[in-house]
Amino acid sequence: MIDMKTHWDSVYGTKDPLKVSWYQEEPDSSLELIANTGASKDARIIDVGGGASVLVDRLLQQGHTRVAVLDIADKALDCARARVGDDAEKVEWITADITRFEPLHSYDIWHDRAVLHFLTSYRDRMSYVDVLNRSLSPEGHVIIGAFAVGGPERCSDLPIVQYDADKMQRLLGEAFRLEEQRQEMHITPSGNEQQFAFFRFQRQS
């Protein structure tokens, strides 16, 4: 069995974060879906697997004041922390495996681009959903981006799980209502095409 922390620490320790296949210059879909929740600037947002993503930069620039970034790889968080500079002190930085994360408080928006699809075992997916349920506020929003059906079958030398809306709904359960979905063709830094699906759910009180 692959040790995921060792794998991702190695990835970020040996590769340029700007050259990895999942890097986005601008996380437009994520920002639009977060805005579509209607959440205030002081809403708690957690970016699960945020790593070296520039989403945290953009959220800070937009005036969001309670942003958390969680990643299993210290090196990925170090990259983002260094990049945002003095603003790093405004961010909650969390090194953790999301399937074992113990939240200290609830979040109003759970954002995950490209973490869930790496959880290929049923047990890990159930652990993920359990953590999500314990982390999210009563009427909180869930935004997940994953490889779409027909997209890649592997990433970073690891197998993945593809998702459509029905599959995501079954995973999250009836307590969540699908509010929005969209397809996105991600172009990797090397020029390859990867089909992503994004979903925005809201927890029902």
What are 31-74's pLDDT values in tens digits? 999 999 999 999 999 999 998 899 999 999 999 999 999 999 99
Asked if residue 201 belongs to a domain, the reply is: yes
pLDDT of residue 23: 66
Amino acid at residue number 136 = L
Task: Look at residue 71 in the predicted model and tell me its pLDDT.
Answer: 95
Q: Is residue 78 part of a domain?
A: no
Closest CA to 114 of 77, 150, 157, 143: 143
The single-letter code of the amino acid at 91 is V
Share of the chain above pLDDT 70, in %: 90
Q: Is the pLDDT of residue 114 over 70?
A: yes
DSSP-assigned letter for residue 50? -
Would you say residue 20 lies in a domain? no
pLDDT at res. 130:
98
pLDDT at residue number 5 = 74
36, 45, 34: which is closest to 91 by C-alpha? 45
| Structural domains of the chain, count | 1
In a domain, 171, yes or no: yes
Provide the residue range defining the domain that includes 164: 114-119+135-205
Contact 8/73 with Cβ under 8 angstroms?
Answer: yes
Residue 103 domain flag: no
